[in-house]
């Protein structure tokens, strides 16, 4: 069959399905830079409106996996299991989970990403640690996984390069919100990274990437099916993202809170989500360990320090501190009935903690320290949050939005569960 990108666009536009051969041809040529961006964007836009059926999606994902190398993590000496979150506000779970699960006896090869908009990125948080590097070549990554039991690193050019190029294009062409494209993007990287098992943390709520619960559940089912089809034991938890997770939002602030959790402290909600995911990860790979007991023992902290040091960081270094801070106080007595995660995330972004496009720089110091959570009693004048930034002008621009995120009423509201569902074998 003679391939023609215009024909593929028209075929999909008119409601047809793409053959396996057409999909593989497109992904191969696109990765090699032999399909112009405007034509690739047109095809992606047809997928936004027409979708991909089960066969098309399976082939599309497989082609993206094979656009680079599928890494072999054999001879590690322990089972490998990874975790992926769809992103949220205050979501520093990976920083605790990666060394904790490693301390329990599994190996955790965590290939992570950067934040965009109101959601934070694991790599941005880790890079607030002096000296720490997200770049590991495959030999160094394999060695660290064997010796330390975990790493957190950026995707290399050999891991699903089609996704890296496609994500950048989708980001600037309005073709991000498609469940097939989201699922294939996430799963192609995870499958190619060589892990035996994967647990997905799919956020649900107003600050989630997909706030509608039905959409989030469909995405979770789709990703579980893709993982299982490629021989990766995959499971998903649906977790709440209406309020921030923990009390810290912002890169260095979140590292500090993650370390507190590894030391046996930290907010209860962060601990709950971390332990729920750890239990699923260990069960998937058949490791019999109690992650709560391991967390309390301090073994996770030992593994954290080893992981940070192995990637050039100083686990004892003072984290950077913002030049300007401002504390917001309560204007009435009552009970905290809401902390809007989306508003908090956007305010932290305005202070410098986030980016609009992937190439934007982010501030390690910017963010928000919350002093209250939903259900807390509060009195007039008590601190509600502290804003942190290196840009004094940003305080004035974001103060009102941050203040409006916290609602104080007379009675405490009912609170829903943090863990809202489980999908997979």
pLDDT tens digits for range 95-147: 999 999 999 999 999 988 877 667 778 999 999 999 999 999 989 999 999 99
Active site includes 185? yes
Active site includes 221? no
Alpha helix positions (H), 208-360: 213-229, 251-262, 268-284, 291-297, 299-310, 341-348
What does the alpha-carbon distance between residue 389 and residue 61 come to, in Å, rounded to a whole number? 40
Indicate the CATH number for domain 81-310.
3.40.1030.10
Architecture (CATH level 2) of domain 5-51: Up-down Bundle (1.20)
Catalytic residue among 82, 91, 124, 163: 163
Active site includes 218? no
What does the alpha-carbon distance between residue 355 and residue 342 come to, in Å, rounded to a whole number? 15
For the chain, the structural domain boundaries read 5-51, 81-310, 324-409
Q: Name the token pair of 341.
A: 């995660």
Question: For position 1, what pLDDT does the model report?
Answer: 58
CB–CB of 219/177 below 8 Å?
no
Question: For position 358, what pLDDT does the model report?
Answer: 61
The predicted model scores a pTM of 0.94
Nearest to 62 by CA among 159, 182, 187: 187
In the block, which residue shows the tokens 């997200």?
134
Superfamily of domain covering 324-409: Pyrimidine nucleoside phosphorylase-like, C-terminal domain (3.90.1170.30)
Active site includes 314? no
Question: For position 112, what pLDDT does the model report?
Answer: 87
E strand or H helix that includes residue 401: helix 392-404
In the block, which residue shows the tokens 């959790």?
261
Question: For position 168, what pLDDT does the model report?
Answer: 80
Catalytic residue among 184, 185, 188, 363: 185
- Distance of alpha carbon 263 from its chain centroid, rounded? 23
Active site includes 189? yes
In the block, which residue shows the tokens 């098309």?
56
Catalytic residue among 66, 83, 114, 189: 189
Across residues 291-319, what is the average pLDDT? Answer: 97
- Distance of alpha carbon 409 from its chain centroid, rounded? 33
Choice among 103-112, 177-186, 409-418 with the minimum mean pLDDT: 409-418
Q: Has residue 356 got a pLDDT over 80? A: no
Nearest to 270 by CA among 250, 299, 243: 243
Catalytic residue among 24, 50, 66, 84: 84
- Angle separating helix axes 392-404 and 341-348, nearest 10 degrees: 180
CB–CB of 369/253 below 8 Å?
yes
Instruction: Name the band, by pLDDT with cuts 50, 70 and 90, for residue 310.
Output: very high
Question: For position 359, what pLDDT does the model report?
Answer: 67
Q: Has residue 247 got a pLDDT over 70? A: yes
Across residues 332-339, what is the average pLDDT? Answer: 96
Q: Between the CA of residue 185 and those of 86, 176, 309, what are the distances in Å?
A: 11, 10, 30
Catalytic residue among 170, 190, 271, 388: 170
What does the alpha-carbon distance between residue 93 and residue 83 come to, in Å, rounded to a whole number? 10
CB–CB of 275/112 below 8 Å?
no
Q: What is the largest CA-CA distance in the chain?
A: 73
């Amino acid at each position: 069959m003679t391939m023609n990108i215009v024909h593929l666009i028209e075929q999909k536009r008119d409601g047809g399905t793409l053959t396996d051969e057409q999909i593989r041809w497109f992904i191969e040529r696109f990765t090699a830079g032999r399909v112009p961006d405007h034509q690739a964007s047109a095809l992606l836009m047809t997928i936004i409106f027409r979708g991909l059926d089960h066969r098309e999606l399976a082939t599309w994902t497989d082609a993206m996996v094979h656009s680079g190398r599928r890494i072999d993590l054999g001879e590690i000496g322990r089972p490998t299991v990874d975790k992926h979150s769809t992103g949220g506000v205050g979501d520093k779970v990976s920083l605790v989970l990666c060394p904790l699960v490693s301390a329990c006896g599994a190996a955790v090869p965590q290939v992570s990403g950067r934040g965009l908009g109101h959601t934070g990125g694991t790599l941005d948080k880790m890079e607030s640690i002096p000296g720490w590097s997200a770049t590991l070549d495959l030999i160094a990554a394999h060695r660290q996984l064997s010796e330390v039991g975990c790493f957190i690193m950026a995707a290399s050019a050999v891991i699903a390069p089609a996704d890296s190029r496609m994500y950048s294009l989708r980001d600037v062409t309005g073709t991000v919100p498609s469940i097939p494209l989201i699922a294939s993007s996430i799963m192609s990287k995870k499958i190619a990274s060589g892990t035996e098992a994967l647990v997905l943390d799919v956020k649900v709520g107003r600050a989630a990437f997909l706030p509608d619960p039905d959409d989030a559940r469909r995405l979770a089912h789709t990703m579980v099916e893709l993982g299982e089809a490629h021989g990766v034991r995959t499971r998903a938890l649906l977790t709440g993202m209406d309020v921030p997770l923990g009390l810290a939002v912002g890169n260095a602030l979140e590292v500090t809170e993650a370390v507190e959790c590894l030391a046996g402290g930290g907010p209860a909600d962060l601990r709950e989500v971390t332990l729920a995911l750890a239990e699923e990860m260990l069960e998937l790979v058949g490791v019999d360990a109690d992650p709560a007991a391991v967390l309390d023992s301090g073994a996770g902290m030992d593994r954290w320090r080893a992981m940070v040091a192995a990637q050039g960081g100083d686990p004892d270094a003072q984290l950077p501190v913002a030049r300007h801070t401002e504390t917001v106080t309560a204007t009435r007595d009552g009970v905290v009935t809401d902390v809007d995660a989306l508003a908090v995330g956007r305010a932290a972004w305005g202070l410098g903690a986030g980016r609009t496009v992937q190439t934007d720089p982010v501030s390690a110091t910017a963010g928000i320290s919350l002093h209250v959570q939903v259900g807390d009693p509060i009195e007039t004048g008590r601190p509600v949050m502290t804003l942190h930034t290196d840009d004094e002008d940003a305080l004035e621009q974001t103060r009102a939005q941050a203040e409006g995120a916290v609602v104080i009423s007379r009675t405490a509201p009912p609170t829903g569960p943090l863990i809202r569902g489980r999908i997979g074998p």
